[in-house]
Amino acid sequence: MVDIHLDGVGHSYDGGRTWALQPMTRTWTSARAYALLGPSGCGKTTLLNIMSGLLRPTVGRIWFGEREVTTVPTAARNIAQVFQFPVLYEGMSVYDNLAFPLRNRRYPKAEIDQRVRTVARLLGLDDHLHRRSRRLDPGRQQIVSLGRGLVRSDVAAVLLDEPLTVVDPALKWTLRSKLKEIHRGTGHTLVYVTHDQTEALTFADEVVVLKDGAIVQSGEPTELFLSPEHEFVGHFIGSPGMNMIPADVVDGVVRVGDNAVGHAVGDLAAGDVRIGVRPEFVRIPAAPTPPGLPARITGVDRMGAYHLVRAEIDGHPLVAKVDTGSWFAPGSLEYFHFDRAFLFRDSVRCGVLVAPGEVGPA
């Protein structure tokens, strides 16, 4: 198992006019489970195909450990790749499909049998081993494709491109945890592409967030939730995403309209900023009195496990997540507190907002 290193790797499909992948340098550490998360068109598949060798990058070099593989074709890279839709031999049995990558590499017969049965058991395919693959429904065919990607022990990495798209939602949960279990057992480097934050957060050791062909942040799921470095991460991760409130800073004092909400930690030039605060960190005390930021309640959505309180601060909408024991009447004026808030300028985090008399988040 080796680290995969991208050195200034970027890709343009139109001769350099636009970059589907901005040139980037980063290392994918051996045996780690990564989720590559981002919206449609941000370059996830492009990046994955460059790592597997299906696509030659316009610029940059790729290393598997000490070995440069930039011009090495896929077959010689020792990569297992699983795509969005089933790729298998429909005329073959499930068993033969799973055994195929191993027979191809001349694994001993006994080991093939043992590996095929182990993967089949983990993915719930035991009862289907001797069926023809074309007789399975598309969801199960995809699980066989997944199995083909996971059956080998000797791969440099397993790359999965939205592998659960055609799988039934209820089964997705099970498969994700199985995938995690298989990963723990094999120690493969996994890169799992998804545009679904839940999938990314439940599965990965590290989530890499991609936007417009560039990595805006990568880190553990809790880090992205608690400490977003870019507005996009605040908004894309979380449900609902981070509130962004226009404000300005003068001499370190942060104001929303006429209200001073606190001071900025960080050496910040005067000017416009946006306050980013997750709905989970907006606190509404029971008593509607200062201190706090005056907010008009516009509505409350009952979500079952919690309430979402919608409000307006100086004409800007804001959402707070509160427990079901509290209730706020639409139209009433409340005083909001931000327990964990950051400042953003040009979409990038530039500081921390600290309420008067309080210490800010790390």
Ligand X SMILES: Nc1ncnc2c1ncn2[C@@H]1O[C@H](COP(=O)(O)OP(=O)(O)OP(=O)(O)O)[C@@H](O)[C@H]1O
Enumerate binding residues for Mg ion (CB under 5 A): 44-45
Sign of the alpha-carbon torsion through 187, 188, 191, 197:
negative
Report if residue 13 touches ligand X, rule: CB under 6 A: yes
* Nearer to ligand X among residue 236 and residue 338 (C-beta): 236
Instruction: Determine the 3-state secondary structure of 217 from DSSP.
Output: strand
DSSP β-ladder status, 59-64 and 67-68: antiparallel
| Residue 195 binds which of ligand X, Mg ion, none (CB < 5-8 A, kind-dependent) | ligand X
Shortest distance (Å) from residue 291 CB to ligand X: 45
* Nearer to ligand X among residue 41 and residue 65 (C-beta): 41
* Nearer to ligand X among residue 51 and residue 354 (C-beta): 51
Binding ligand X by CB under 6 A: which of 8, 16, 41, 187? Answer: 41
List CB contacts of 213: < 8 A, sequence separation 6 or more: 10, 19, 20, 21, 22, 42, 43, 46
Report if residue 208 touches ligand X, rule: CB under 6 A: no
**Cα gap 335→333, rounded to integer Å:** 7
Q: Is the peptide bond before 240 cis (omega within 30 degrees of 0)?
A: yes
User: Which of 151, 152, 192 is CA-nearest to residue 172?
Assistant: 192
Beta carbons of 176 and 13 less than 8 angstroms apart: no
Stretch that binds ligand X, among 44-52, 234-242, 281-289, 303-311 (CB under 6 A): 44-52
Stretch that binds ligand X, among 33-41, 94-102, 233-241, 302-310 (CB under 6 A): 33-41
Q: Is 147 left (phi over 0), alpha (psi -120 to 50) or beta?
A: alpha
**Cα gap 98→88, rounded to integer Å:** 9
**Cα gap 316→307, rounded to integer Å:** 20
**Cα gap 87→97, rounded to integer Å:** 10
* Nearer to Mg ion among residue 45 and residue 141 (C-beta): 45
Report if residue 215 touches ligand X, rule: CB under 6 A: no
Report if residue 44 touches ligand X, rule: CB under 6 A: yes
Place of tokens 């967030």: 209
Report if residue 81 touches ligand X, rule: CB under 6 A: no
Shortest distance (Å) from residue 81 CB to ligand X: 13
The count of chain residues that interact with ligand X, using the rule CB under 6 A, is 11
Q: How many CA atoms lie within 13 A of 333 on its CB side?
A: 7
| Residue 173 binds which of ligand X, Mg ion, none (CB < 5-8 A, kind-dependent) | none
| Residue 69 binds which of Mg ion, ligand X, none (CB < 5-8 A, kind-dependent) | none
**Cα gap 73→220, rounded to integer Å:** 32
Interface of this chain with ligand X, residues 176 to 205, rule: CB under 6 A: 195
Report if residue 40 touches ligand X, rule: CB under 6 A: yes
**Cα gap 107→30, rounded to integer Å:** 23
* Nearer to ligand X among residue 209 and residue 224 (C-beta): 209
* Nearer to ligand X among residue 13 and residue 85 (C-beta): 13
Report if residue 82 touches ligand X, rule: CB under 6 A: no
Beta carbons of 321 and 229 less than 8 angstroms apart: no
| Residue 276 binds which of ligand X, Mg ion, none (CB < 5-8 A, kind-dependent) | none
Shortest distance (Å) from residue 216 CB to ligand X: 14
Contacting residues toward ligand X, per CB under 6 A: 13, 20, 38, 40-46, 195
